Amino acid sequence: MKTRLIYLFSITASLLFTSCSDDDNVVDTEAPEISIMEPHDEEEIAPGGEIHFEALFTDDVELASYKVEIHNAFDDHTHASTKNEEHNDNPWSYSEVFTIEPGNTNFEALQHIPVPSEIKGEHISEGPYHFGVFVTDAAGNESQAFFEIHIEEEHDEDEDDHEH
């Protein structure tokens, strides 16, 4: 019985020493930072064109991944132009996650995101879209940034509202 108590005491003591030494490790609670160079807020992109995305991500310990998400921002409002109203039922969206090589505390993201002119044979909806960027560090802390871009054809002020 005495041997059993000494054994249990030894196990308990070793667990306590192990857990105490783990407390010396600093837990990463700081979220990474995002600095977006392109596109710019309110930038206009034509259907069939591309979005040039450039951003710098930084973290105090280690970066893990980033995600780019684009979705419509129509929010049930309508536009004066008949052309836009005809296409509001075919919004485009984009979402992709990119892994950052382990060990990086700074990472420059460069992407060229094609914007389709059509989806399933129909013109995509023109108008405001939300552009979101999420970055996650190795500890799971996340930061995000959102702004608005406009996907629309360039229209001359003299142009008729007739379709070509």
| Residue 66 forms part of a structural domain | yes
Q: In the prediction, which pLDDT does 88 show?
A: 58
Q: List the single range of 6-15, 50-59, 113-122 with lowest mean pLDDT.
A: 6-15
Tell me the residue range of the domain where 45 lies. Answer: 28-151
Q: Quote the pTM value.
A: 0.72
- Pick the more confident residue, 138 or 74: 138
Supply the CATH number for residue 49's domain.
2.60.40.2550
Q: How far is CA 78 from the centre of its chain?
A: 27
Q: Report DSSP letters for 62-89, one per residue.
A: -EEEEEEEEEE--TT---S-HHHHHHTT
| Residue 22 forms part of a structural domain | no
Q: Which residues contact 89 (CB under 8 A, 6 or more apart)?
A: 125
Alpha-helical (H) ranges within the chain are: 2-22, 82-87
Q: How many domains does the chain have?
A: 1
Q: How far is CA 83 from the centre of its chain?
A: 30
